[in-house]
Amino acid sequence: MIISSNSQHQPHLFASSFYCRLIYYFYGAGVAKKLAVAAQAPVPAGAWPMIGHLRLLSGKKPPYVTLGSLADKYGPAITIRIGLKQALACGELLSMFGFAPYGPYWRKLRKVVNHELSFSKLQLVQHIWDSEINKSIKELHELYLNSRKNKSEADDSEVLVDMKRWFANLSLNIYVKTVVGNKSVINGKALDAMTEKWLQEHKTKNKSSPIPGDEQDFMDVMMSILLGNKDNTGKLSKPYVDDDTVTKSSSLALILGANDATVTNLAWAVSLLLNDQSKLKKFQDELDSNIGDERQVQQSDIKDLPYLQAIMKETLRLYAAPLLPPRESTGDCIVAGYFVPAGTRLIINSRKIHRDPRVWSNPSEFHPERFLSGGDQVDVDIRGQNFELISCGAGRRMCLGDSLAVQVVHLALARLVHAVNLKVPSSAPIDMTESVGFTNIKATPLELILAPRLSSDLYACN
């Protein structure tokens, strides 16, 4: 259990953040003596031999719902058992930035990733997502135009688009090209093999003399920094992984993490807007007023679109990943009267925080206006500075890719809503059921009817 040191000065934030800390505790020798000094957080009933509380998390309800119910019953902090003692982690998993334990290796990787995802570096690759979004919007226009060929004007046949697939293709193209310099729509099974192929291509390219003006992608930079940061043994202070594994796994982590977040956020944002036509109309009016109908939205326009930013904040509040990645305490400590042994795994149920009625008015309602001037959460951001909204985590281990994903999502959503009219095929609202798991992927398809809002000439359609 971890509580921010400044929570005591903000009672409502203390209650909100403390309410949702869930301790994953793997028993070890000597614990009994230490528990005599301080109390252990309550252990819910229902644990089985060998597997502990694992069965409670494998039911029909999403894990965040089950864990939230346990917190309601037993208190703001609970101890649950998963297995007997500790989990087994393989070398390749530990080589990934998000799973590596805190230490010199993690600090080096964080420095690399943080540098490559800085604002100045992202400005250099902004043209990638700008171009890919434009191409994808053009494909929607051409799909509509092709469906109208050889049809009379009276023919009102409609064009259905699987938007979840469209978002997935767009997102994967952007991040694959950003990380490894290639554009390729591939499935998850082929991604590992393709990354290995790209790695070998980069190694071959880097053996030759660099070409002046040749653009370096994330994989190029990773390989260069690893080469210059080895210890006297020729390794990056990690005996069980080699440089190729570090480069490959870090690239995969960036592609998969950013892709999943982008697809999920876009799907939920569009679904929320279509289920509330007044909010959609307000967003369209903002776009029409600031951009007009003779050009596309540019990245530089985003700062002048406050309702767009409010929509994305509200989407992240309602449908961000409900459980943040686990963290581990590096030493024994006592927090709020509870003994927390070294090796304790902590998971924060951010869904509980984001829908806490003591913090948010009408917490289950889609209400972007709460983040606008005059709203009760106008000063809340999504970068870990406000504990009411921690969709990207907080602190030194928060998601470093949030700035990249947020820029991509903002521009993609703005251009989509500006360029085309989207509506559901029936009068029924969009099904907002979430898939069961530790992520919150939309469980049902998102098939929508489209028609152009802007002239297809803007996209040079044939």
Binding residues for heme: 399
Token pair 């039911």 is at which residue? 59
Listed in sequence order, the residues at least 6 apart from 58 whose beta carbon sits closer than 8 Å to its beta carbon are: none
Q: Is 324:348 a contact under the CB 8 Å cutoff?
A: yes
- β-sheet bridge partners, residue 80: 24
Q: Is 7:387 a contact under the CB 8 Å cutoff?
A: yes
Residue 32 burial by Cβ neighbours in a 10 Å radius (0-12, 13-18, 19+): exposed
The helix/strand/coil state of 434 is strand
Tell me how crowded residue 30 is: count the other CB atoms within 10 A of its CB: 9
Backbone angles phi, psi at 295, to 5 degrees: -155, 170
> H helices of 320-399, where?
350-354
What amino acid occupies position 271? S
Instruction: Find, among 457, 441, 192, 451, the residue nearest to 319 by Cα.
Output: 441
Find the length of the chain: 462
What amino acid occupies position 103? G
Q: Could you please report the per-residue DSSP string of 70-114?
A: HHHHH-SEEEE-BSSS-----HHHHHSTTTSPSSHHHHHHHHHHH
Backbone angles phi, psi at 423, to 5 degrees: -150, 160
Q: Is 345:23 a contact under the CB 8 Å cutoff?
A: yes
Using alpha carbons only, give the angle 183, 184, 190 rounded to the nearest 5 degrees.
140
| Distance separating alpha carbons of residues 276 and 278, to the nearest angstrom | 6
- Specify binding-site residues: 399
| Distance separating alpha carbons of residues 105 and 250, to the nearest angstrom | 13
